[in-house]
Structure formats: structure tokens, C-alpha cells
Structure 1
Amino acid sequence: MKSCAWLLSASALAFTSSGAAIAQTVPAPVGTATTAEAPGDSSQDIVVTALRRNDKLSQTPIAASVLSGADLANKGVVNIDALQFAVPSVVVNNFGQGLEFNIRGIGKAEHNSQTTTGVITYRDGVPTFPGYFQEEPYFDIANIQILRGPQGTSVGQNSTGGAVFANTNDPIIGGGSHGYLAASYGNYNDLNGQGAVNLPISDTFAARVAFSGERRDGFYHITGPGGAAYTGNNGSVRSIAGRISFLWKPTDRLSILSKTDLDYLDMGAYPADPFTNRSKTLTLAGGTVANPNYRDLFDITANMPQEARDKFVRTVLKIDYQFAGGVKFRSISGFQTGNTLYRADLDGTNATANVAATPTAPAQKNYIFFDTTTETQFSQEFNLISPDNQRFTWLVGAFGLWNTYFWLPPYQFVIDAPGAGQPLGTAAGQYTLQGRNPERSLAVFGQVGFKITPRLTVDLGGRYTASQSTNHVDINQNGLLLRDDQQIKSNNFSYKASLGWVIDPNNYLYGFVATGFRPGGINVPVGSGLATPPFQPEKVRSYEAGWKANFAGGRIHTTIDAFYNDYENFQVIVGYPTLPVFGFEINVPGTTKIYGFEAEADFKLGSFTFDAGINALHSELAQFYALDTRTGGSFAPCSPTTGPATATCLNLKGREQTYAPNLTFNLGASYEHRFASGDTLTPRVNFGHIAAQWATLFENAAQGDRLGERNILGAQVAFQHKSWTVTAYGTNLTDQHYVAALNSGLDFAGPPRQYGVKVLKTF
């Protein structure tokens, strides 16, 4: 939902500081459907299941990264935020209640619930909430598959940037009782535990129970009004999550799998402070003066209580039935419902009054934000899938998703930002909202593959999507009551055509062209008499070519690919063209160009392993005019297509795409030393780099738009004795204090250095 320009996106104003909790600590058990090992090959050829088939990654026409449960533990990946330091091309800017997840610069750039995401995150085959509830921990994970580029002709929901599939461990029938228990303790009194157990019930039925819990003190030192101690929450974490799974296989042809997750995630708060606190000096009308508020990212001020809590439940039901001829029918159903509660010191200071700026002093603000929102989502997918081992293969599917946001009554969405000299609670300074926003997406899709020769395969796929978003919302804008009943429909046909060539068992070339789509949305009205047209869908056309190879008998795997994207109708919040004092979401005219290359490699040479990934990217906007309402000055009309260009109506042609750094790379290395007793000692080091990026299209560093580079170094040493493993770990070892996100003029910090010890017992 939208409000005035100076209150853009406050509903998602939050950022999490993830702890160094235990990720998945044991690899997926032998026999699960998420990994496979090539017989007679020492290389462990990875199998990708995200496309509803069991495809070898090394011979699939797609750019993808796959992390096993053990990989997650080795790289310190505990939630979706940490993926950006473990694989190339991924950038995450997290505000707690929502996040911008981008792959190759495409995904989501606006923190607004009505802006859907171009990178779909799946849990056990069903798409997760597209808006809130982003802090779900990774535990008892089998693998995570990150697919880059448009998706949708063979699976689930349509996407423009890519998709992430997080697959948890399934119960194993006939696998006996086995599992693990793990615990860790680190600085900030970070205590974490998790575990899982497989329960064989009969020769056709099994269950698995898993849990995760964490408590951690906050990272922040917060000073209250007048230098007094702050009595609110500084970001201390108290969370617990659990999962119960059941697998029933009454016959060889029928399999029924259900999984239910329960999460209660109390993140304490998402503290933040103004971006101006990063500067040692301030430029005011009276000249340059020392900044009295200059301080470290973790040394901030606040005067208002803060809260951040998510609770939700998700149930997944997957049914597979194989007909006599080998054709498989699959049904994947998902139901999710949750409530998010968030309270913030919206100005990020300990000021208790609103004071206008003077020639020698900046303005003081005392703003607050609060919301409690419920979201429900039901999704259903049906597939018919031909056998994999045929010259001609095919897949057809149907998909439906129904998602509703409930902004609870009475007006439980509150932005309180009074003017100078006005106290909190002044009607003229409040923006409140209640109501609901139901969204619907229906689609049919299909894909066929044909082996032109035993080594040359062509695949063709198509998808038709019909999306709809409706508002039934009451707004109280500065004492003016407004009603919003609007609807937008977005229909689209997207496609993919690929060609794959197995040159020999160790070399594979591929190329494809694909299109992706994400729907438009609704701008809420403002009390200006202005019409508020909806923003339109985004579309992307992607071209990609790649080479996948194995060397040294399968001990070295490499992937190199290049891509080029035409990105149309990028959705962005700027000043409304005819009256820029108000902020609205519009579409960037013309076509944004995004192109680059990627490379990934992993080596296993004796006891030494090494992995690396890199992405180099270039992006540029087409001609586009917009006014940056943050800088004040004239609010004359500014047409996105014609301008005219002035000191305030800026031509943004050639500017970079937001959240699209020109370089990301990751490195990891380990060495396993085996003692004569059979015990092992394995040190490992990881490094992830994300170059500087722009948080807005205006590229105004003076407004905090430039987010500096992120260089995260981690390391661990693991000693294994039989079924016991003790690991000393450290993350962000250089203790880089970096701005991880910018929202509403506030800087949100990434997590600082953390270290501790983990103990794992398998049984």
C-alpha cells in the first residue's frame, strides 16, 4: 500500500540481523528424492528436481546453484539473507517484514506489499508468502536449488528473475530410527538448538519430526532521550520453529507426503537510524558544520518502544501417482496463514519533539510506525509428467494461487509523523489504514522436449497467466477519510525455447531464449482529487548461453554462462508525474538493459576442496524522467516520458538498475585431515563479496542511496569423532559494519562479527 512520498514503504520498514545459528548440520540421508549419485562416477552428479523432473544439473539448459544441507552448514547459511554470500548473482536487502530479493538485478525493488516479487521462494514445492514472513530459519534442509533467469513453463508460479527451492528432508520408509541433535553457543549470548528424528511406523508409513530454536541478545547499543538508558527492545531474538512430516507409500505407484511447519519468530526489533548519521559533517544553510549525530551503525538512539514478531503455519500436501505406462500425476497443495506484528521508531532518533530545521541545525523528528497484519495463502498445482527416459518428453500443468492481506481493524496500520511543533497523535500528521487486498493468479503451462539426435535436444515451453489484485481498504489520511475499491487484471503469455548439446560425457553446451512476467498492482488514493491509476506488469526477455564441463575424472566441475535481458516496465516509486509531492508506483518507460556473465567451479582433489562463483553485471535505464521528492524544491509536473528535464525533473537515462551490483563473487576452501584413529579435523574458510549498489534510481549519495560493498569472511574448524562433531565457527570475522539496506531514510545494519562453538550428535 502507498502513502505520501515522505512515508514511502513504511509498512516494510524493518531489517533482521540474523544470528550465526546452526544451519542444516547433516547431509540428506541416502534414499531421499532430492539428491542423487551417478553410478560408477566419483563426481556425485547433482540432480535438479525443481523443474518437476530428475535432471542432471550438468546436462540441463539452465544456470543454477545447488547447496546440500552439508554445504549450508559449511558456508554458514542459516536463512535466506545469507544466500547472497554463498552463490553468485544473488542480492538480498532485508527489512524484516519484507525483503528485496534480486537475481541478476531482477526481482523486487520496492518494499510494498502490492508489489509482487520476481524471485519466487518455494518451501517443499509450494511458493511462500510473497510479502511478509521472511525470517523463517533453515533447519533439517536436504538442499536448496537457486535457478537464475525467468521460470514458469514447467513449474509453479511465473517469475522474472529466478526461483529458490528449499527442500527439507523427507521421512524414509524402512530407514530405521535415526536423526541428529545439535546445539551452539556464541557471543551475544547466542544459544541455538535443533534436531530431527526419522520414525519408522510401518513398512509403508514413516514420520519425521524436526525443530529449531534460538535466543540471542541484540547487537545494538541504544541511547534514550537526554542520554538516558533505552528501555525498549534492542533486537534480542527469541524464536522457535518445528516441522512434522508424514510419508505414506501404500503401493509402488502411489506416494503421499505431508509437511506442516509452525514458526514463532520474535526478532525483538529492527533498530535503524538516519543515513545522515554516517557523515562526519553536515552541509546546512549556514555552511558546513560537525555532525553531532555521527555514530556507528550499532550505536544508535531511539525514544519509542519497538517490536518485531512473526507467527505462522504452513501445510504442504504432495501426491504422486505413476500410471502403468510410466506417466506421473502430481498434485502439490499448500496452505499458509500468519500474523506479523511490527512497531518502530520511524525517525530513528531519541528526539521527543518535532522541531523545524534552522540555518545551523538539522530538523528534529519524532515519528512512529505500527502495524499488525494477517496474511493467508492457498496454492494448488497439478502436473502430468511423461517418463524421463524417452526421446520425446512432455509436461503439462495447472497452477492457482490465492493470497489475501488483512490490515486489521480498527486501523491497525499506523504512520504517525506530525509536523514541526505538533505532538504525536495529531490527526493532521497521521496516516492509518484497514481492509483487505485479495490477490489471485491462475495459470496453465506445458513443456515438450525432443532429442533431435542422441546428443542434441530441443525444449519448447509456454505459459498463460491470468492475475488479479483487488483493494477493499479504508484510509484515514491526515483526518480525511478515503475509501478504495479498485481492481487490476494482468494477463500474459510467456515462453521458453532451449537447445542443449552433449558434446561428450564431460562437456555440455546450451542456449535459450525465455520470457518472464510479474503482475501489476494498485496505488491507493490520496486526498488530492487525483486519479490513482494502477501500475502495470513487468516483463523480461532473457537470452542465455552456457558451457558446463567436468575435468580430472569428474573431480572438477565448471559452469560458464552469459546472459542478456530486456527488462520492460520496471516498477518504481517516484513522485506522481502531475503532482510530485505525492509518491506513487509507476512503470519505467522504455527497456532497461541488463547483461553479464557468470562462472562457477568446484574442485575436489584428495582431501582438499575448493568452490567459487562470480557474476559480472552491467545495467542501464532507458530514457526516463522523474522527480526526487526527498530533495525538496519545485514540485512542477514531471512526465516520465517527456520531462522536460530541469534541475528537479531528472533524466535518469543510463542510470544503473537498483540492487544490481556490477560484481559479486564467493570463495570457499577446506582441507580434511584424517587421523589414524579415523577421526577427522577439517578447517574451512568462506568469503563473499557484493560490490556497491544503488538503492534508488536517483543515485544520490547525499541521500544515502549508495550502499557500500559487502565483504564477509567466515571460517570454521570441525573435529569429528565417530558420531560426534565439534565445530568452532566465526562469521564476518573482519567485523565489517556495513549498511545492509536503506528504507525511508534509515540505515539498517548487517550482522556484526559472531563466533562460537557447535556440537552435533548423529544417531
Structure 2
Amino acid sequence: MTDRLIRRPRLGLASPIQIAVLALLAGAAHAQSTEAPAPQAETASTAAAASADGKDSKALPQVVVTATKRSTSLQKTPIAVTAISASTIEDNHVKSMLDVFNLVPSMQGTGQGDHGIVSITLRGIGNDSAKTEYADPEVALFVDGVFAPRPEGAATMLFDLDGIEVLRGPQGTLWGRNSTVGTINMKTAKPVLKDNSGYLEVGTGSYNRLGAKGAVNIPLTDTLAARVAFIHEQHDGYVDYQKPTQYTLAQQQAAYNAGNTAGTFPAFQPINYNLFVTGGPKYNAQDQTAARLSFLWQPVKTFRWDLSLEQFADRGTPAMSLMQTPRAGQKLWSALIDTAPSLKRDSTSIRSRMEYDMGGMALAYVAGYTSFKGSGTYDQDFGVNMPTSFTTGATHQEDNTVWTRYRSQSHELTLQSTQKQTVDWVLGLYYAAEDNGIRFDIPIMNGTQQGTVNWQGSFIQPKETVDSKAAFGQATWNLTDALHLTGGLRYTHDDRKNIGGRGWFWAGNPAAPQIPLNPTIDPTDPANGYSAGNINDAHYKGSKTTWLARATYDLSKESMAYASVSTGYKSGGTGDGGLPYGPETLTNYEVGYKTSLLDGRMTFNISAYHMKFKDFQFSAPVIVNGNRQFAYSNAEGAKVSGLEIETAWMITNDDKLQLSASYTKTKLGQLVAASNDYQLPTCFDTTLGGNCLNVTGNDLPHAPKVAIQLMYEHVFPLANGDQVAPRISYHYQSANWLSVFNLGEGDRQKAYSTADIAVRYSSKKNWYVDAFVRNVSDEKIKTSAGSSGSFANPIWTAQYAAPRTFGLNAGYNF
């Protein structure tokens, strides 16, 4: 199977990558044939320790996960879960959620431009519009068990982690809110009692990259310890600035006269070409810093309290959508910019976990609080057209987050059995609350900022709240040593309010100055030319009971199989204009098999699933009665089926191979969809806006039918005790759509292959140097798309994954 995946020429693998992959796998095969490990009778834990002469074979390290709210071996956990260890995070240079996607079967994602967030798709289900205070994601994100409600949380830096667990399939019974198709739990490194240790790393690389991170564990007393961790990453933007075509005054006057046939334009003025941005910070730049202070207090063996305070600051720039067919003479990674990029985000998070061992039972209380505020500016016209006069030939559009803030808190109390019994059980109560607010401005001018008003609006949501309460329980009946039956229930009640939300739109008052809307303008003052359009005051209440039924059978000490039926739920709510939308529910059918082979030197896990959605939520910006708003609709449903495989193989003590693969098939139920992000035909349904398309039966976006990730590492021991470890990570995926509209090549990412390579030199004196190249063949990988112009002749734009980058890190462990 591996041979086939590498040799097929239609995968489109660049020749240097293909040679590298073949060479590395040939080396693995040679190592296996010349150093075949002898069969062993030891258990995996015994085999993991090499003998003094170094000839005994090493097993893969046992991985412990908390997917079932208790610590269990990954190979004995009857859930499709990917456990990404701290070493894997280091080897793959994971710094944010964007770096995680290729490591997990059926997982996709993209950075969204105007709000600077990361959207996540799992098993073909996601929400590209989950970038406002309205839209919730389908994949729930947790840090140390604390739910992160807003999508900005997915973009924060991943640093000083013990690991990441990605649970696929509905996880509502135990994990709660919005875990419709999956849950991601990031586990931060915890302080250790009576331990002095730490590390420091610095790095450099392409696009003037500078990076630094470190952590130190500090024993304060015999029962109290602290850990301080930090990270900073910065690099210049990928998007170069284009210079505008400068027309003569005569040419501008001619274009002005041709467009002013109705005589409504203001007096002619020349284009101020200084309004175009040609210097300063570029789009797609990173400048992020985070720090975490953690404490552990363990006064007695039966009680433990982990407490952390984390601060995050982002001063980078948003990701720009680029013209898929560059303007003549321009590079792909460039744009004509007339709105300088900015992004300012700050968040403070407090997380706490208390555990008390009561002897046969354990009581745990997990609490979290997050405060976030931010602002940003974004060039939403993408520079696709060149202005021919100050008010013709192009459109100037900004998306400006004047301010946004949210505060969230969550509390979870669980009581569970701890010693294996005939019935293992867990009971819990959960409460979460959010308070969101935003002012989001969209000025659209004809031609340039100097031109006439095309449309302008300010969306001000001063207070939007969410209250969610739940009670849950799950029990596993151990009928025999081999057969286990699990059942779970969760009741959730959601209460959502929008208080005082308004959309203020340009009213065409001739006495008001026609200038782009900006933070100094108060749109609530009629003298400025705006009137209240959308009245967003609304109140939504809803509740749902979700459940899980699962049977697990241990085929042997090394293998198990499971089958489950589970349901998922995501709350309904209201959109602009106070318009309600219904909740989204699904039923997931799944079977799986996990096994350890070759005395623990190989693991093989496979799962197959079929998901049936009801009232699948679709959201997008639309135009209704000439005004722009954010709208929701519920599709009749959707169906998703798939297969996922994960395997790891310790070929020899010095060779490790990992493979993950997925097959996904999707079909959308009945839905007529509208969106401002695409040029669509005139809509036959006036309630959906000016343009729409029947997308019933279409494939869901970000769901390639086939995706494969292959990673190989070989360790070369040196005579002085040091070692050199080269590694390669190869990724292939088939073509996938970028929206539900399935509009052709502009709305599609073709099949592609790419690879990352790295080599690490590790000294026995605890220092190391790590060099890497990511996206070696510099593939142009579209992650989302949009169009402007007309439906018959669209101009296609897209967000792209990062181009080829390289870097060098050096670190010291102490």
C-alpha cells in the first residue's frame, strides 16, 4: 500500500520530493533487512527499555489520553482520537492550530482574513463564517478542559504543551458545547514538585523570522511548584505591495466623464496615488507573544490544585486574499493595497483544576475565565481592479473591526469512579457564560477613498450573551473482562440574547459628507448620514438531550474493537435583524479497531463512520433590501461517511514511520444559499437576497475524498554519543471544494502533494540544533476562495497556505 501511494505519478509530487521520499523509505527498508529485531516475549513497557548493549528493540511509547475524562491508554480508548505528543509538536514545529491540520485524519482548516481567525473543519464539517460573535464553530476547542468559545482562541499560540488530543465524532456527552463533530483538547505542561528543569530555544529563518521560547520549573516548597513558560514568534508578511497604474489627468477625466452620464458625480479631482499602500507592515505577517505562569499545590496525596494565568498578544497582520490569476507582470504573492493591515488582539485566561481522591471516587472542579479585546483593519476589495478616476473603475472596501471584546467563564464539576468496578461511571454538572460585543464597519466607495459612496454600514452589537447549562452522566458496564457496554446522556439548555444590536446603514443624506466610515464617525448621529436598518434585539432559548451507546470488545491484550451510536447538537440562535435559526443535530454511527503489533513496536488503528445531519446550519454575509447583513439558514440535512487510518511503526531502534490516511464522502441536503463572498446568479427567492444558488446535493467544502500524511525519521548515533536525526513529512490530498457552491476551478483546490523536511543534531550535553524547510516544493495551496465581478465573468481570489519557508532553531535543556 505504501508503495502505491508513493509511485503513482498522478499525485503530482515534485521530482525532488519524490526522490527524497523514496530514498528515505528505501533506507528504512534497508535498515529493517539488516537489523531485523528478534521476536520478544516481554510486554510493551519492558521492551521499551533497551539493554546496555543497545541491541534490544524499542517499543513505541505508550500514549495516555483523557478522551473519556479519565486517563486511559490510547490503544484501549474506544474513540477515534489522535494524540499528538510533545515530541511530535516539536518535530513538526507546531506553533498554532494552522500547523496541526496535517497531523490529524479528516482535519482541514484555514486562516480567515478580515477577523484574523482560524476556522476548523473535521470530517467534512466546519463553518467558514464562524468568525463573528454570532457563529459558533462545529469543532469545540478546549485548553486543559476549559472551553474556548470564540474562534480567536484557535489562533493563539500553542506552546509548552504536554500534548494535543483531537477527538473525532460527537463528544457532547462528556465534553459539551458545540462538539458536534469533534473536540480538540490542548494539555499544557504542568509544574512538577521537587524538580529544577527547563529549556530555552531561539530561532531564525525566512521572511526575517525571529523566534524564542522557553520554560523553567521552580520548586517552591515540598508541596508547591511553579512553571514559567513563554514564546515569541515574528516574521515579515508574505504579500508584496503592488504599485497602481497611474493614469494621466486626461485619461482620468475621460473615465470620469464616461461614468458621469447622469451628472450626479461631485466635481472632478485627480486620483491621490498616495492613498495606495506601498510600504510598512505587509499582510500575512506574524508578531505574537504569549506567556504562562502555572502553579501546582499538592498538600496531601489525595488533593491536587493546578492553576495557571496566561497572557497572549498579537500585533501581526491579517491574511490577504490574493488574485488566483495574478495581474499581468505581478507575482501571486502580491496585491494592490489601499487599506494598510493591522491586527491588535489581547487575551487573558485563568484556568483552574482541583482534584480530590475520595477513595474509590474522585471529585474534580474545572473552572476558566477569559477576557479578550481586539481591533483590526483589512483591505476587503483585495485590489482586484484598478481605479480609472477618483470615482470609477474600481471599488474601495475596508473591513474594520473598530473594537471587539468578550468575556467568558465556565465551570464543570465531576464525580467519577476511580477503581475498576463492574460499572465505571462519571457524573457532571456544567455552566458557561459569555458576554460579547463588537463594532464592525464596512465602508465601500466607488473608485477610491475619494470617490462617491457605494454603500456603508456599521454593525454595533454592544451586548450579546450566552448562558449554557448542562448535566451529564456516562457509565461503562464491564460484563466480562473482554466485553464492555457504555451508555451516556447529556441534557443541555442554552439561553442567548442580543441586547441593543443595530446595523447602521448609509441613508444617502445629501447634506452628509461622503467620506469613508471610520472610527471617528458616530453612525448613530443622523447628521452623519446613517439610519438604523437591522434591529437585532432577540432572545433564543433551546434545549437538547444527546446520548451515546457503545459496545467494546477486547479481542486480546493487544487489540480491541468497538461500535457506537452517538448524537451531537449545536444550539440555534438569531442573526442580523433578529431572525432566528434552528439548532443543528446529527446522529453518528461508528465502528473501530485498534491493535498493537510486533511486541509494541507497531500500532494500527482504523475507524469507519456515517453521520446524518438534520437542520445543518449554513451562515454567510448576504444582501437584503440593498443592505448587508449576516444571515443563517438551516439546510434540510447533510450526510458524511468516511474511513480513517492511523499507524506507527518502530521499524528499528533508529527508524520510525507514521502514516495517517482518510477517505471522506459528503452530500449536502436541500439548501438554497446566498453569500456576498461569491458572484452568484440573480436569486429566484427574494427573501434570500439579490443573488443565490440551489446547492442541494453538492459536496461540502474542505472535504477532500483522500488525504494521506506520511512521516519518517531515522536517527544516526555518533561515536561521541551525539546523534543526527533527519525526518520528512509528506502530505497528499485529492481535490476539494472551497465552498458549498461548487462553482468550478476557482472554487476548488486541485489535488496536490507537498513535503516538509528537517534535520536535528542533538548533543549528549543537552543542546541541539534543528534546521527545517516547510512546503519544500512551494505549492500554491488554496484554503478558501471568493469571487467578484459578475457570475458570468468572475474575478477569483483565494486565501493560500504559507509559501515555502525555512528556519533554524537552537536550544538547550537544563
- TM class by shorter chain equals 0.7 to 0.9
Give the equivalent residue in structure 2 for 1:139: 159
Offset from partner CA, 1:211-265 (integer Å, 9 cap, x none):
1012322212112444777134203332221101000001111111101111111
Alignment partner of 1:366 out of 387, 396, 419: 396
> 1 CA distance for matches of 2:347 and 2:692?
44
- Equivalent of 2:355, from 315, 320, 335? 320
Match of 1:435 among 462, 467, 472: 462
Instruction: Name whichever of 49-58 and 556-565 sits farther off.
Output: 49-58
User: 1:731 deviation in Å?
Assistant: 0.7
Q: What is the CA-CA distance between 1:426 and the residue it aligns to?
A: 4.0
Q: CA deviation at 1:740?
A: 2.4
Paired residues for 1:573-588 under 5 Å: 573=619, 585-588=631-634
Q: Report the 3-state secondary structure (helix = DSSP H, G, I; strand = E; otherwise coil) of the residue aligned with 1:132.
A: helix
Give the match for residue 34 of structure 1: none
Q: Where does residue 26 of structure 1 map in the other structure?
A: none
Q: How does 1:339-488 map to 2 (within 5 A)?
A: 339-349=373-383, 364-371=394-401, 372-407=403-438, 412-419=439-446, 423=450, 426=453, 428-472=455-499, 473-478=501-506, 479-482=530-533, 483-488=535-540
**DSSP-derived class of the 1:348 partner:** coil
Q: Secondary structure at the match of 1:499?
A: strand
Superposed CA offset, 1:62-87 (max 9, x none): 00111111111112322101111122
Residue 624 of structure 1, aligned match among 671, 676, 689: 671
Contact residue 681 and residue 693 of structure 2 kept, 8 A: no
Following TM superposition, by how much is the alpha carbon of 1:549 offset from its aligned partner in structure 2, in angstroms? Answer: 1.0
Give the greater-gyration-radius structure (CA). Answer: 2
- Kindly indicate whether the alpha-carbon contact (under 8 Å) linking 1:356 and 1:364 is maintained by their aligned counterparts in 2: no
Please name the residue that 2:191 is paired with. Answer: 171
Q: Which amino acid aligns with 1:477?
A: F
Corresponding position of 2:75: 58
* C-alpha deviation, 1:648, in angstroms: 7.5
Percent of paired sites with the same residue: 24
Determine if contact 1:466/1:489 at 8 Å carries over to the other structure: yes
Shift of 1:50: 3.3
Contact kept in structure 2, 1:580 and 1:638, CA below 8 Å: no
**Cα deviation per residue 1:267-323 (whole Å; 9 max; x = unaligned)?**
1343333xxx3237xxxxxxxxxxx45844312110222101211110101100111
Q: Give the 3-state SS of the residue equivalent to 2:151 in structure 1.
A: coil
Gaps of 5+ in 1: 1-36, 281-291, 526-531
1:633 Cα deviation after fit: 5.1
8 Å CA contact retained: 1:247, 1:258: yes
Secondary structure at the aligned position of 1:367 is classed as strand
Q: Is residue 244 of structure 1 aligned with residue 293 of structure 2?
A: yes
Q: 1:267 corresponds to which residue? A: 316
- Give the aligned partner of residue 34 of structure 2: none
Q: Secondary structure at the match of 1:85?
A: helix
SS in 2 for 1:418: strand
| Worse-superposed segment, 627-636 or 262-271 | 627-636
Aligned-pair distance for 1:177?
0.8
Partner of 2:807: 756
Could you tell me which of 216, 219, 242 is aligned with 1:197?
Answer: 216
What is the CA–CA distance in structure 2 between the aligned matches of 1:294 and 1:738, rounded to whole Å?
21
Q: Distance between the aligned counterparts of 1:354 and 1:385, measured in 2?
A: 70
SS at structure 2 position matched to 1:747: strand
> Where in structure 2 are the equivalents of 1:608-623 lying within 5 Å?
608-623=655-670
Counterpart of 1:653?
696
Contact 1:578 1:639 in 2 (8 A): yes
Structure 2 equivalent of residue 711 of structure 1: 753
Closer/same/farther in 2, CA of residues 214 and 541 from structure 1, 3 Å limit: same
Q: CA deviation at 1:597?
A: 0.5
Q: Which amino acid aligns with 2:665?
A: H
In 2 relative to 1, CA 415–582 (structure 1 residues): closer, same or farther, beyond 3 Å? closer
**Cα pair distance change 1:54/1:577, threshold 3 Å:** same
Gaps of 5+ in 2: 1-42, 49-58, 247-275, 507-529, 789-796
In structure 1, C-alpha distance between the alignment counterparts of 2:623 and 2:502, rounded to whole Å? 25
- Using a 3 Å threshold, how does the CA distance of structure 1 residues 747 and 279 change in structure 2: closer, same or farther? same
Cα distance between partner residues in 2 of 1:631 and 1:158: 31
Q: Distance in 1 between matches of 2:573 and 2:296?
A: 39
CA contact (8 A) 1:589 1:623 kept: yes
Between structures 1 and 2, the one with greater helix share: 2
Change (3 A) 1:626 1:240: closer
Shift of 1:585: 3.1
Q: Is it true that 1:234 corresponds to 2:277 in the alignment? A: no
Using the size of structure 2 for normalisation, the TM-score is 0.80
Do 1:625 and 1:638's aligned partners in 2 also have CA atoms closer than 8 Å? Answer: no
Give me the whole-angstrom Cα distance separating, in 2, the residues matched to 1:335 and 1:88: 31
Distance 1:739 1:634, change over 3 A: closer
| Amino acid paired to 1:447 | Q
Could you tell me which residue of structure 2 aligns to residue 667 of structure 1?
Answer: 710
Aligned partners of 2:639 and 2:666 also within 8 Å: yes
- In structure 1, the residue corresponding to 2:395 is in which secondary structure? coil
CA contact (8 A) 1:89 1:664 kept: yes
Structure 1 residues 61 and 133: CA distance shift in structure 2, 3 A:
closer
Q: Which residue of 2 aligns with 1:697?
A: 740
Distance in 2, matches of 1:254 and 1:425, equals: 67
| Residue matched to 1:283 | none
With over 3 angstroms needed to count, the CA separation of the structure-2 counterparts of 1:589 and 1:718, relative to structure 1, is closer
For 1:356 and 1:619, locate their aligned partners in 2 and report how far apart those are by CA, in whole Å: 47
1:130 equivalent in structure 2: 150
In 2: Cα distance, 1:579 partner to 1:664 partner? 42
Aligned pair partner of 2:179 in 149, 159, 162: 159
Rounded to whole Å, the distance in 1 between the matches of 2:103 and 2:561 is: 25
| SS in structure 2 of the partner of residue 699 of structure 1 | coil
| Paired residue secondary structure (1:171) | coil
Distance, in Å, in 2 between the alignment partners of 1:100 and 1:373 is 18
Shift of 1:582: 6.2
- Out of 579, 583, 605, the residue aligned to residue 533 of structure 1 is 579
Preserved contact between residue 621 and residue 630 of structure 2 (Cα < 8 Å): yes
Which of residues 510, 515, 519 is equivalent to 2:567? Answer: 515
- Structure 1 residue 750, shift from structure 2 partner: 1.5
TM-score between the two structures when normalised by the length of structure 1: 0.85
2:99 match: secondary structure: helix
Assess if the C-alpha contact under 8 Å between 2:786 and 2:798 holds in 1.
Answer: yes
For the residues of structure 2 that align with 1:349 and 1:648, how far apart are their CA atoms?
Answer: 23
Distance 1:431 1:580, change over 3 A: closer
Q: Which residue is equivalent to 2:345? A: 310
SS in 2 for 1:159: coil
2:89 counterpart SS class: helix
Q: Give the total of aligned pairs.
A: 691
Write the distance in 2 (CA, Å) between the matches of 1:123 and 1:670.
29
Change (3 A) 1:584 1:306: closer
What SS does the corresponding residue of 1:403 show, helix, strand or coil?
A: strand
Aligned amino acid, residue 495 of structure 2 = Q
Measured in 2, the distance between the counterparts of 1:378 and 1:628 equals 33
SS in 1 for 2:576: coil
2:201 aligned with 1:182: yes
CA deviations over 1:414-439 (Å, ceiling 9, x no partner):
10013569846849533442412111
Cross-structure match for 1:289 = none
Label 1:580 to 1:602 Cα distance change in 2 as closer, same or farther (>3 A).
farther
Report if aligned partners of 1:336, 1:376 keep a CA contact under 8 Å in 2.
yes
Moved more, 429-438 or 509-518: 429-438
Q: Tell me by how many angstroms 1:205 deviates.
A: 0.5
Deviations 1:89-130 (A, max 9, x none): 110122153332111012324244211111111112211132
Corresponding letter in the other structure for 1:495: W
Aligned pairs for 1:322-337 (under 5 A) are 322-323=357-358, 325-337=359-371
What amino acid is the match of 2:180?
A: T
Counterpart AA for 1:326: G
Please state whether the residue corresponding to 1:504 is helix, strand or coil.
coil
